[in-house]
Amino acid sequence: MSFWNDKRVLVTGGAGFLGKHLVENLISNGASADALVIPRSNETDLRTWDGCVSAVKDVDIVIHLAVTGGGIDFNRRHPAETFYDNAVMGIQLMEAARREGVDKFVMAGTICSYPKHTPVPFREEDLWNGYPEETNAPYGLAKKMLLVQGQAYRAQYGFNSIHLLLVNMYGPGDDFDLKDSHVVPALIRKFVEAKESGVDEVEVWGTGKASREFLYVADAAEGIRLAAEKYDGSEPVNLGAGMEITVKDLAEAIAEVVGFEGRLSWDATKPDGQPRRLLDVSRAKDEFGFEARTQLKDGLARTMEYFVANRGTIS
C-alpha cells in the first residue's frame, strides 16, 4: 500500500510552477487526486488566519510551497511584500495545522536563507553563520524564521515539521516574464526571441562571475515527496543537484541549446546576487535517498521546448 493512499494532503502553491509537478508526482505515487487540497489564491488568502484555518481543515499532511517572490529584480522591487507575505503565510499556516492536529508539515524553504559568503559547498550547519545576500534577505529571512518556528513547535508540542532548503529550480512551466523571472527562463526567452528576430546581441545582468546551482523541477518534486514520506528530523535538509556553474557558462550553455550565435553583453551595473551557490546534498541522500537525475543540458532543452511550444499563453 502506498504511503499516500489514505492521506488527505494540502499542497499550497499546488497550481504553481513547482506545485503542478509535485501534484503529478504524488498522484503517480499513489495519492488520490480527490484527496489533494489545492487552494487558489483568488479564493483562499493564506495571509489571513481564516484562510489558513480553512485550508488545513481535515488534512493529514501539509506541503507548503506557496510563496511571494521571483528573480533578483522582483525581490529588489518588492522587499516588503516578499518578507511579509512569506512570513505571515508560513507562521499562520503552521499554527493552524498544529491546532488542527495535522500529522506532518513540510516546509519548502530556500537557499536564499544562507549567509552571503557561505563557503561552498553549503552545509546545513552553516545556515546561521552570517546575514543573507542583501537582495534576497527579506525572502531568505522570512523563510528562515519558519525553520525556527518548526523546531520550536517540535520541541514544545511534538509537532512533526520538516524544513527543506531548495536551490534554484527551472523547467517546463517556469515563469518567463522578464520582469519577474529567474535567470534560466529569462535567458531562454531572450535568446529565442533574439534568434528569431535576427538580433546579434543579448544583454545579460551582472558580470557572469557569480555561480549558481540548478535543480530540474521534476527532480525537486521527487525530493519533496521522498522527504514527506521518509524524513522526520528537526534539522533542515538541502535539496539540490550538487553541481555549480557560473552565470557566464550557464548563459553560453543556454545560447547553445537555443542555437543563438550572437554576442553576450554583460551589464555589470546590475547585481550579481550571492557570489557562489553550491549545496552539500549528502544529507538528503542519507536521510531519504534523494539524488537529482536530470542533467543540466537535458533540462535546459526541455525548458526551451516548453517555452517555444507555449509562447501563445506566456505574457
Residues 50 and 72: their CA atoms lie apart, in Å, by 32
Assign residue 33 the CATH number of its domain: 3.40.50.720
pLDDT band at 315, cuts 50/70/90? Answer: low
- At 38 the pLDDT is 97
Cβ atoms of 88 and 47 within 8 Å: the answer is: yes
pLDDT tens profile 168-180: 999 999 999 887 7
Grid cell of 215 as nine digits: 535543480
Written as nine digits, the cell of 104 is: 506532518
Inter-residue contact 296 to 256 (CB < 8 Å): no
What is the pLDDT, as a whole number, of residue 1?
A: 64
- As given in the structure block, the three cell numbers for residue 226 are 521522498
Q: What domain count does the chain have?
A: 1
Q: Is 139 annotated in the active site?
A: yes
Has residue 197 been placed in a domain? no
Q: Phi-psi category of 215—alpha, beta or left, where left has phi over 0 and alpha has psi -120 to 50?
A: beta
Of 229, 239, 223, 262, nearest to 160 by C-alpha is 229
Helices 296-310 and 247-258: angle between axes, nearest 10 degrees: 50
How many CB atoms sit inside 10 A of residue 208's CB? 18
Contact criterion met (CB below 8 Å) for 150 and 105: yes
146 is a domain residue:
yes
Q: Which three cell numbers stand for residue 206?
A: 551582472
Q: How many CB atoms neighbour CB 68 within 10 A?
A: 18
Residue 199: inside a domain, yes or no? Answer: no
SS3 label, residue 201? strand
Q: Which of 105-114, 181-190, 244-253 has the lowest mean pLDDT?
A: 181-190
Within a domain: 16 = yes
Has residue 24 been placed in a domain? yes
Domain membership flag for residue 79: yes
Q: Could you tell me if residue 192 is inside a domain?
A: no
Query: Over the stretch 216-252, which tens digit does the pLDDT of each residue have?
Result: 999 999 999 999 999 999 999 999 999 999 999 999 9
Residue 63 sits at φ, ψ, to 5 deg, of -115, 110
State pLDDT tens for residues 130-167.
999 998 999 999 999 999 999 999 999 999 999 999 99
The verdict on residue 167 lying in a domain is yes
Domain span at residue 147 reads: 9-171+213-242+276-293
User: Which of 139, 170, 216, 231 is flagged as catalytic?
Assistant: 139
